[in-house]
């Protein structure tokens, strides 16, 4: 498979076209905004956290296929996860898309998120994949300032 | 090479030989460089001029009695005269070397603005400015309690002159407008803009970063008061540019930065400033950059700006027609007067994804907001894809772009 096909896998294209959990959440108890000034991507993350566990998560915004699919896949996988499990997943995901860590079986560790491994061949696109995760982190830490990739 | 003032077509295969980088391969594919509005490629003569300076002439200017310093000074000042002739300024002292168009605008905002703009005054800019012709004025207005007024545009990306006329009043201290828009390609009717401003006794600054490589300039005929140019968009090196200013205005303005070369005498009690242009050139300048820019101007003169403009206009028309058949593609910026910029969006496909897929085909375009976020907001798009043409581009390259865009559609189908 070429690097390009690796990047734009069917699962990525599907999540871009019909993203999951793409909605505002009125009863969210955490919320944060993220922005990538380089390409104009904007994302808002909504969280409902109860006893340290993500009960519900959703997002809204506009962005490229990589950032939209990354947000969609992230919201799918994080439902029901604790904050510490979330942190572990972010670390593993970050290692995957930057190519810094090479998992022998990324699917086992990251599930569907492993589909974003192709990003590691496109260094300028890493921020597209990680923007939503940085925004999530800001929501968890209840930061008021919008997150910027720059 | 000889100066060519005729309208014969440029021999594109011949001129492509002048640009070594055009032979490069990107992912084993020939480079198709369509990002000329971001920066143009450099001809061999420019690369050699810079290299020759460092190899054989390197020394400081305006200082030494030794031969190398004299040679460097002569080449540096020759470049100023070349630039004077390039834009037909009346005197070479009206040519100030700066870091680029951005610094040229900042110089005027800081020096002219610092002196002539006060509380309640107004600065007029347009809806299609690059951030470099917005932010310096915002900072100035905030400092001074002045107001920024914006000339609106229509959906084609053309300024509304009747609205502009209404903005001019006794409080207007400066009109600062882009000559050619980097994000839309619009060539603005600067003659009319200047005429109306001057009827109001208001000076005009033109941001010519995109215009200088496409349009034969005559600052005296235009009668603009300031003109900003970036070397790297006119086939010269980065990190150097020019502020043209009418001598009487520049004379009346305080220095922008202070240091060596901008003084005629210094004591701890008093400093006398140097004459133009040196008053605005504090410190050791970018000598290699200036020499490279001089070589670039000579090169452009040899090709001829009339022929460059004619060729780029044909290329733009060809490429615009070719991409118009791609379903779901919408051009952004359809002014009747345009330079070689083709900006567009595609249904359901973000510009960044377009850029990545084209890159894999060896095609370099710009994607994003092009440092013109208010333009993106006006057209209600987060970003656009922009192909920008130079005279060394070919119809075949436009065809490769179209095939690349068809591939983008296949990936996202």
Residue span of the structural domain in which B323 resides: 12-30+304-411
> B145 with B287, same domain?
yes
Number of A–B residue contacts, CB under 8 Å? 51
pLDDT digits (tens, 9 = 90+) for B361-370: 999 999 988 8
- Residue A100 exposed, middle or buried by CB count within 10 Å (0-12, 13-18, 19+): exposed
pLDDT (mean) for B290-319 = 97
- Predicted confidence at residue B65, as pLDDT, reads 87
Q: What is this structure's pTM?
A: 0.93
**pLDDT band with cut points at 50, 70 and 90 for residue A67:** very high
CA of B27: which chain A residue's CA is closest? A3
Report CB contact under 8 Å: B352, A42. Answer: no
pLDDT (mean) for B271-280 = 93
User: Nearest Cβ partner of B352 from A3, A4, A64?
Assistant: A64
pLDDT digits (tens, 9 = 90+) for B5-52: 446 789 999 999 999 999 999 999 999 999 999 999 999 999 999 999
> B222 with B370, same domain?
no
Please determine, for residue B1, whether its predicted confidence score (pLDDT) is greater than 50: no
Report CB contact under 8 Å: B382, A42. Answer: yes
| Residue B5 within any structural domain of the chain | no
- Higher per-residue confidence, B338 vs A105: B338
Mean pLDDT of all residues belonging to chain B: 95
pLDDT (mean) for B72-99 = 98
Judge if the upstream peptide bond of residue B277 is cis by omega within 30 degrees of 0. yes
DSSP A141: T
**pLDDT band with cut points at 50, 70 and 90 for residue A25:** very high
| Residue B197 within any structural domain of the chain | yes
Q: How many angstroms away from the CA of A83 is the closest CA of chain B?
A: 32
> B350 with B336, same domain?
yes
- Separation of alpha carbons B126 and B148, rounded Å: 10
Domain count, chain B: 2
| Residue B82 within any structural domain of the chain | yes
pLDDT digits (tens, 9 = 90+) for B236-251: 999 999 999 999 999 9
pLDDT (mean) for A95-118 = 89
> B137 with B175, same domain?
yes
pLDDT (mean) for A6-10 = 94
> Which pairs with CB-CB distance under 8 Å and at least 24 residues apart come from B148-154?
B148/B122, B148/B123, B149/B122, B149/B123, B149/B124, B149/B125, B150/B124, B150/B125, B150/B126, B151/B124, B151/B125, B151/B126, B151/B127, B151/B177, B152/B127, B153/B126, B153/B127, B153/B128, B153/B186, B153/B378
- Separation of alpha carbons B203 and B244, rounded Å: 13
- Predicted confidence at residue B63, as pLDDT, reads 80
Please give the domain boundaries of chain A with CATH numbers for all domains: 3-148 (3.90.1010.10)
Please enumerate in sequence order all residues whose Cβ is within 8 A of that of A7, keeping only pairs 6 or more positions apart, or say none: A66, A118, A119, A121, A122, A125, B356
- Predicted confidence at residue B296, as pLDDT, reads 98
- Predicted confidence at residue B7, as pLDDT, reads 60
> B392 with B244, same domain?
no
CATH code where residue B397 lies: 3.90.1150.10
> B93 with B227, same domain?
yes
Last residue of a domain, one of B253, B280, B301: B301
| Residue B219 within any structural domain of the chain | yes
> B368 with B350, same domain?
yes
pLDDT digits (tens, 9 = 90+) for B188-215: 999 999 999 999 999 999 999 999 999 9
Report CB contact under 8 Å: B368, A39. Answer: yes
Q: How many angstroms away from the CA of A115 is the closest CA of chain B?
A: 16
ipTM of the complex: 0.89
**pLDDT band with cut points at 50, 70 and 90 for residue A1:** low
Q: Could you tell me what percent of chain B has a pLDDT over 70?
A: 98
Question: Which letter, b or e, does each residue of B364-375 get, where b requires 16 or more Cβ atoms within 10 Å of its Cβ?
Answer: bbbbbbbbbbbb
């Amino acid at each position: 498979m070429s690097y390009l096909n690796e990047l734009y896998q069917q699962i990525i294209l599907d999540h871009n076209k019909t993203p999951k959990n793409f909605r505002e959440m009125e009863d969210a108890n955490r919320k944060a905004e993220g922005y990538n000034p380089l390409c104009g991507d904007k994302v808002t993350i909504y969280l409902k956290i109860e006893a340290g566990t993500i009960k519900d998560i959703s997002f809204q915004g506009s962005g490229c296929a990589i950032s939209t699919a990354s947000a969609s896949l992230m919201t799918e996988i994080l439902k029901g996860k604790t904050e510490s499990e979330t942190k572990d997943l972010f670390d593993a995901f970050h290692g995957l898309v930057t190519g810094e860590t090479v998992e022998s079986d990324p699917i086992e560790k990251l599930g569907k998120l492993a589909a974003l491994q192709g990003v590691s061949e496109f260094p300028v696109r890493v921020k597209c994949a990680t923007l939503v995760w940085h925004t999530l982190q800001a929501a968890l830490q209840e930061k008021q300032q919008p997150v910027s990739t720059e | 090479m000889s100066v060519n003032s005729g309208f014969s077509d440029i021999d594109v295969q011949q001129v492509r030989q002048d640009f070594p980088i055009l032979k490069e391969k990107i992912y084993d594919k020939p480079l198709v460089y369509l990002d000329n509005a971001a920066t143009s490629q450099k001809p061999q003569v420019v690369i050699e001029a810079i290299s020759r300076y460092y190899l054989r002439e390197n020394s400081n200017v305006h200082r030494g009695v030794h031969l190398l310093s004299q040679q460097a000074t002569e080449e540096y000042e020759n470049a100023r005269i070349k630039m004077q002739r390039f834009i037909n300024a009346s005197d070479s002292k009206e040519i100030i070397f700066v870091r680029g168009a951005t610094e040229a605008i900042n110089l005027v905002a800081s020096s002219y603005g610092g002196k002539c703009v006060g509380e309640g005054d107004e600065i007029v800019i347009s809806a299609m400015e690059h951030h470099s012709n917005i932010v310096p004025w915002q900072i100035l207005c905030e400092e001074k309690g002045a107001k920024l007024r914006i000339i609106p545009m229509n959906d084609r990306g053309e300024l509304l002159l009747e609205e502009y006329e209404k903005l001019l009043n006794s409080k207007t201290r400066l009109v600062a407008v882009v000559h050619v828009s980097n994000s839309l390609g619009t060539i603005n009717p600067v003659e009319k803009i200047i005429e109306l401003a001057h009827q109001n006794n208001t000076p005009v600054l033109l941001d010519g970063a995109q215009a200088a490589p496409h349009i034969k300039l005559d600052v005296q005929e235009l009668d603009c008061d300031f003109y900003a140019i970036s070397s790297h968009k006119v086939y010269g090196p980065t990190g150097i540019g020019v502020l043209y200013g009418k001598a009487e205005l520049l004379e009346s303005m305080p220095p922008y930065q202070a240091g060596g070369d901008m003084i005629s005498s210094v004591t701890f009690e008093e400093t006398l400033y140097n004459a133009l242009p040196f008053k605005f050139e504090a410190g050791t300048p970018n000598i290699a950059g200036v020499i490279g820019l001089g070589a670039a101007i000579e090169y452009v003169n040899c090709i001829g700006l009339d022929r460059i403009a004619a060729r780029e206009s044909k290329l733009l028309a060809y490429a615009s027609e070719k991409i118009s058949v791609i379903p779901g593609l919408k051009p952004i910026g359809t002014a009747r007067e345009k330079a070689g910029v083709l900006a567009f969006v595609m249904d359901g496909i973000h510009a960044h994804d377009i850029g990545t897929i084209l890159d894999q085909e060896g095609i370099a375009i710009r994607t994003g907001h092009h440092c013109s976020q208010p333009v993106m907001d006006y057209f209600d798009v987060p970003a656009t894809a922009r192909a920008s043409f130079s005279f060394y581009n070919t119809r075949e390259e436009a065809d490769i772009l179209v095939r690349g865009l068809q591939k983008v559609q296949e990936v996202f189908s």
